[in-house]
Structure 1
Amino acid sequence: MTSYNPKDWFSFIFHFSKADTFRKLIPVMIIIGIYSAGIAYLEIEYWKLTEDSHVKNISVMHGMLGFVISLLLAYRTNTAYDRWWEGRKMWGSLVNSSRNFALKLSVILTEEKDKVFFRKMIPGYASILNKHLKDEETGKQLFDDVDLEIDHHKHRPNQIAKIIFQKIQDLYSTNKISGDQLITLNNELTSFTDICGACERIKNTPIPYSYSAFIKKFIFIYVLTLPFGYVFTLGYFVIPVVVFIFYVLASLELIAEEIEDPFGTDANDLPTQKIAENIKRHVEELI
């Protein structure tokens, strides 16, 4: 995840990071600019349309649809950010659960070999979950047109959770922990699986295709019709204006696409690897 100072305005304005949408949109912006120039030339030089032309009234449509497209993009961005923030809360819960689990075990356990086991396995769960969520197949498990040969016995987070629970059960069988302590530790371990399930829900349930496709088509048609009406008032200045409007609208959609899957490898995705490393350090301090 990109580290920055939110109070440093000038760094935002003049710095272009690899995640900046401007870099990604440059080819399309050039095409939109050429298209706008072509429309402006036809209307001004070739067709020589007058101010009385009905084509000028197309701008009325843009005025009416501008409010609609702003609402759609605002909802799209908020929905994507909600997914990003929920993913962050889930990993925050994993940090707390790991600390609580390690804290209780540090007091309950007396033998060093048992402590060494949990010192490795608790942060191991976070590390495996990070890799599991970055696996492309994890995000395709609910797609109808994708046939994955999923072996549920290879669900790595479940396997780690099973090994930990088996160890806890062995401690209870050998009277190293009491029944009450077994229940307490089981609750902490259950939270691991709950967090894994919540993260998988975010990973493999994208924004509905129809909604995402409609917004892209709406932006595309809206921008392509802009030059027709605004040539009469802006002349050839319509070229940079249309390109800038496309940049703003398309950037909002690209940002939403990037953050709706917070467990990927993009610059603005959650630093799950770093969080897993912090869990390892915290657990080693406690046990």
Structure 2
Amino acid sequence: MIVRPRPNWFRMLLVVRGSVLPAILPQLLITLAFALLVTLLHGRVFVWKVSLTFVPFSLIGLTLAIFLGFRNNTSYARYWEARVLWGEVLNDTRSLARQALTLVDGPAPSRIFVHQLIAFVHALRHQLRGTDPAADLDTWLSDEARQRLQGARYKPSAILLMAGEWLRERRRQGELAAPLVQAMEVHMGHLSDALGGCERIAGTPIPFTYAVIIHRTVYLYCLLLPFGLVDSIGSMTPLIVTFIAYTFFALEALSSEIEEPFGTEPNDLPLDAMCEGIQATLLELLGERDLPAAPKPVNYVLS
């Protein structure tokens, strides 16, 4: 995620880091070169004069802008829902840790439960990003728990099961009353819901055909646009075409980038920092004070 102070209006015009300009620069240069060629040839292809006006481009451009806006809103809705789900993970793990420390007799068993919550958070991040959680699980889980996770396909769900078994054992030992177990199970259910919501977002991308239609339309529109403008604005055609192409290409690139919010691109969610933040707040509830510093962005990017 891009984290940086907002520059003034002039520097905002020149910002490159954090924008999608580097990703679309090759397409813009090709569009500019093609528009220059069309302008130099006065809209002719060999001996054939391509007689287009700006009227059809006005109609198509308006429709295309609406579709791009819709796709951008859909992508951002996925991004924001993912952020809300991770906010719920923070709230519910914090509530469960507090309840385990204040409602259960004896702090030693509660430490195991809080460590399981931390392991769940890291396992969820690794599952969403398709990375190996072994290093984090080795830190927070016992040898027996890690052995149970060997070969497990959905490790966050398995860790939640172990946390539920811990609650069951506290009830059997008489360390936690049944009504209190039920109250804690509400938060456990919320964690399961957040896990399922994240899996739904990660496993259900925006339909590929929809993206193909918009992609093709944007490129055909930008390549044909010089023929519709050259007779009316002449030498300004390459500049205007490049500006319009930048708008459409940038919207498409941004939508494509944020529709998968769990990745590692600059505009994706900073899952590493969020996991470390949840880990720090849970350890602080355990009474630990020697906590690592909060993650800071590197080159304005927080991963």
TM-score by length of 1: 0.87
Q: Is the 8 A contact 1:258 1:266 kept in 2?
A: yes
Please report how far the alpha carbon of residue 236 of structure 1 lies from its aligned counterpart in structure 2 after TM superposition: 2.8
Distance 1:202 1:184 in 2: 28
Report the CA distance shift for 1:55/1:32 in structure 2 as closer, same or farther (over 3 A): same
Q: How far did 1:43 drift?
A: 2.4
- For 1:32 and 1:243, the matched residues in 2 are separated by 7
Stretches of structure 1 lacking an aligned partner (at least 5 in a row): 138-150
Q: Which amino acid aligns with 1:179?
A: A
Which deviations, in whole Å up to 9, do the C-alpha atoms of 1:125-160 show, x marking residues without a partner? 1111111111189xxxxxxxxxxxxx9832110111
Q: Could you tell me how far 1:91 is from its partner in structure 2?
A: 0.6
- Partner residue of 1:55 out of 36, 51, 54: 51
Note the alpha carbon deviations across 1:94-146, whole angstroms, 9 max, x for none: 11111111111111123232122023111221111111111189xxxxxxxxx
1:220-259 → structure 2 map (5 Å cutoff): 220-259=219-258
Partners in 2 of 1:81 and 1:163 — Cα distance?
A: 34
Map of 1:202 onto structure 2: 201
- Alignment map for 1:117-156 (pairs within 5 Å): 117-135=112-130, 153-156=152-155
Q: Which amino acid is 1:14 matched to?
A: L
CA contact (8 A) 1:130 1:272 kept: yes
Matches of 2:83 and 2:7 in 1, distance apart? 23
Give the 5 Å matches for 1:86-101: 86-101=81-96
Deviation per CA, 1:163-205: give whole Å up to 9, x if none: 1111111111111111112211211111111101001111111
Kept after mapping to 1: 8 A contact 2:202/2:260 = yes
Structure 1: how far apart are the matches of 2:153 and 2:44?
Answer: 67
- Does the 8 A contact of 2:129 with 2:263 survive in 1? yes
Q: Deviation string for 1:52-89 (max 9, x for gaps)?
A: x78143x2110111211111111111111111111111
CA RMSD for the aligned pairs? 2.3
Contact 1:40 1:238 (C-alpha < 8 Å) held by counterparts: yes
Q: Which residue of 1 aligns with 2:301?
A: none
Contact 1:95–1:279 under 8 Å retained in 2: yes
> Between Structure 1 and Structure 2, which shows a larger proportion of helix residues?
1
1:28 — aligned with what? 27
2:176 counterpart of 1:177:
yes
SS of match in other structure, 1:121: helix
Pairs aligned (count) = 269
Q: Where do residues 154-165 of structure 1 align in structure 2 (5 Å cutoff)?
A: 154-165=153-164
Specify which structure has the bigger relative contact order, considering alpha-carbon pairs within 8 angstroms and separated by 6 or more residues.
1
State percent identity of aligned pairs: 25
How far does residue 30 in structure 1 lie from its aligned partner after superposition? 1.7
Q: 1:54 to 1:271 in 2, by over 3 A?
A: closer
TM (norm. structure 2) is: 0.82
- For the Cα contact (< 8 Å) 1:87–1:202, is it kept in 2? yes
Does the CA-based 8 Å contact 1:77-1:253 persist in structure 2? yes
